[in-house]
Structures are given as structure tokens and as C-alpha cells.
């Protein structure tokens, strides 16, 4: 198995970046477009996932990488929570 030399080769990092890109696109439409607080928070949580993966990888040791992967996991929990809130809020508006 080839050794990964840079974080851009990590499949999980690629997925996290795609999520962040989709969130930025989503933020251009309502209800996020005018909800500055939620828009800022969900963008930060989405970007934090790939940020932590990249930062941890760059320390070049497994212990730090694992620690930063845990931070990324925490950010994914925050992100999923915000998506849940937005989804439930959207269902209330439609009714």
C-alpha cells in the first residue's frame, strides 16, 4: 500500500471539502440567506471538518492526526445538529 504524502490524497478530506462547498451553495438560498447567525455557524462547522483533517495530517505523527480526526468528528456532530434544526424548521414553515 502506498504511503499518503499529502492530505489532499485522503478520501475523507475530499468528502469533507465537498460538503463545505455544498453548504456554501446552500447558504445562497433561503432560509439561510437571511439568517446570518445560522449561516455563519453552519459554514464554520462544515469547513472545520476538512480543516481539522488537513491540520492533523500536517503534524506528521499518528497521535496528533488521531486527535485532529476526533476534532473533525466533533465538527461533523455540530454540523449534523445544525442540519437537523434547519430540516425541522423547514418542515414547520411548509405546514
Residue-wise pLDDT for 46-72, tens only, equals 999 999 999 999 999 999 999 999 999
Q: Which domain holds residue 87?
A: 10-94
> Cβ-count burial of 6 within 10 angstroms (0-12 exposed, 13-18 middle, 19+ buried)?
exposed
| Contacts for 47 with CB less than 8 Å, ≥ 6 apart | 20
Give percent above pLDDT 90 in the chain: 77
d(C-alpha 55, C-alpha 64), whole Å:
9
Q: Smallest Cα–Cα separation from 76: which of 43, 31, 45, 33?
A: 45
- pLDDT tens digits for range 40-50: 999 999 999 99
Total-model pTM: 0.87
Tally of domains in the chain: 1
The H-assigned helical ranges of the chain are 11-26, 36-58, 62-94
Residue 4 covered by a domain: no
- The number of beta carbons lying within 10 Å of the beta carbon of residue 59 is 12
Residue 1 covered by a domain: no
Given a contact cutoff of 8 angstroms between Cβ atoms, the answer to whether 16 and 35 are in contact is no
Residue 83 covered by a domain: yes
CATH number of the domain to which 29 belongs: 1.20.1440.60
Residue 2 covered by a domain: no
Residue 5 covered by a domain: no
pLDDT at 93: 63
Amino acid at each position: 500500500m502506498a504511503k499518503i504524502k499529502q492530505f489532499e490524497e485522503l478520501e475523507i478530506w475530499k468528502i469533507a471539502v465537498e460538503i463545505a462547498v455544498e453548504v456554501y451553495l446552500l447558504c445562497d438560498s433561503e432560509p439561510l440567506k437571511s439568517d446570518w447567525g445560522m449561516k455563519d455557524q453552519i459554514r464554520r462547522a462544515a469547513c472545520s471538518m476538512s480543516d481539522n483533517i488537513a491540520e492533523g495530517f500536517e503534524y506528521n505523527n499518528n497521535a496528533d492526526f488521531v486527535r485532529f480526526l476526533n476534532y473533525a468528528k466533533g465538527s461533523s456532530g455540530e454540523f449534523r445538529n445544525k442540519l437537523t434544526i434547519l430540516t425541522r424548521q423547514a418542515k414547520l414553515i411548509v405546514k
